[in-house]
Amino acid sequence: MHPAPRLRLFTQHSALFLFPLLASLAAAPPASGEACTYAMQQDVPAAMRDGVILRSNVFTPNEPGSYPVILLRLPYNKDVAQTYVYASPGFYASHCYIVVAQDMRGQYKSDGFFYTFIDETNDGYDTIEWAAGLPKSNGKVGMYGFSYPGAAQLLPASVQPPHLVTIVPAMTSSDYHDGWTYEGGALDQSFAEDWPMTTIANSHVRRYPDGAAIDAVMNQAVADEFTKWYWFLPLKDFPPLFPNDQRVAPYFYDWLKHPDNDAYWQRWSLRTRYGQIKVPALHFDGWYDIFIDGALENFNGLRHGAGSRFARDNQQLVVGPWLHIPWMQKVGQIDFGPQAANPIDTLQLRWFDRWLKGIQNGADHDPKVRIFVMGANRWRSAETWPLPGTKYRKLYFHSGGNANSVHGDGWLSADKPEDVGDGEAATDAFTYDPTDPVPSIGGRFQASVPGGPYDQRPLLGRPDVLVYTTAPLKKGVEVTGPITVTLYAASSARDTDFVAKLDDVYPDGTSMLIEYGVQRARYRDSETHPTLIQPGLTYRYNIHVWPTSNLFKAGHRIRIEISSSNFPMYDRNPNTGHAFAQDAVLQIADQTIFHDEDHPSSVTLPIVEDGQDD
Neighbours of 210 (CB within 10 A): 10
* 137 DSSP β-pair partners: 67
8 Å CB contact between 168 and 284: yes
Strand partners for 379: 372
Strand, helix or coil for residue 395: strand
Contact 471, 222 (CB under 8 A): no
**One-letter identity of residue 401:** G
Q: How far apart are CA 215 and CA 197, in angstroms?
A: 8
Judging by DSSP bridges, how do beta strands 427-432 and 589-596 pair with one another? Answer: antiparallel
- β-pairing, 281-288 vs 164-170, is parallel
* Short-list 215, 190, 188, CA closest to 201: 215
**Alpha carbon distance 100, 97 (integer Å):** 10
Please say if 2 is a catalytic residue.
no
Dist. CA 601–CA 590, nearest whole Å: 18
What's the Rg (C-alpha) of the chain?
Answer: 25
Beta-bridged to residue 595, according to DSSP, are 600
Kindly name the residue from 204, 324, 556, 599 that is annotated as catalytic: 324
Which of 94, 137, 147, 601 is flagged as catalytic?
147
Closest CA to 247 of 190, 206, 303: 206
What is the spatial distance between Cα 139 and Cα 356, in angstroms, rounded to a whole number?
A: 10
CB burial string 487-523: b at 16+ within 10 A, e below: bbbbbbbbbbbbbbbbbbbbeeebbbbbbbbbbbbbb
Q: How many residues does the chain have?
A: 614
CA dist list (Å): 211 to 74, 219, 248: 21, 12, 9
509 closest CA partner among 542, 471, 557: 557
Q: Give Dmax over CA atoms of the chain in angstroms.
A: 84
Rounded CA-CA distance 589/328 in Å is: 41
Instruction: Please identify which of the residues 178, 188, 194, 289 carries the catalytic annotation.
Output: 289
DSSP state of 470: P
Measured CA to CA in angstroms, residue 278 lies from 175, 272, 385 at distances of 19, 14, 20
Is residue 285 among the annotated active site residues? Answer: no
217 Rama class: left (phi>0) / alpha (psi -120 to 50) / beta: alpha
Give CA–CA dist 359/136, Å, rounded. Answer: 19
The Cα 135–Cα 62 span in angstroms is 11
Q: Residue 87 has what DSSP assignment?
A: P
How far apart are the C-alpha atoms of 354 and 492, rounded to whole Å?
59
User: Is the peptide bond prior to 606 cis by the omega test (within 30 degrees of 0)?
Assistant: no
* Residue 409 bears catalytic tag: no
Instruction: Please tell me the distance from the alpha carbon of residue 314 to that of residue 306, in angstroms, as a whole number.
Output: 10
What one-character-per-residue DSSP string does 501-538 give?
EEEEE-TTS-EEEEEEEEEEGGGSS-SSS--PPPTT--
Residue positions annotated with a catalytic role: 147, 289, 324
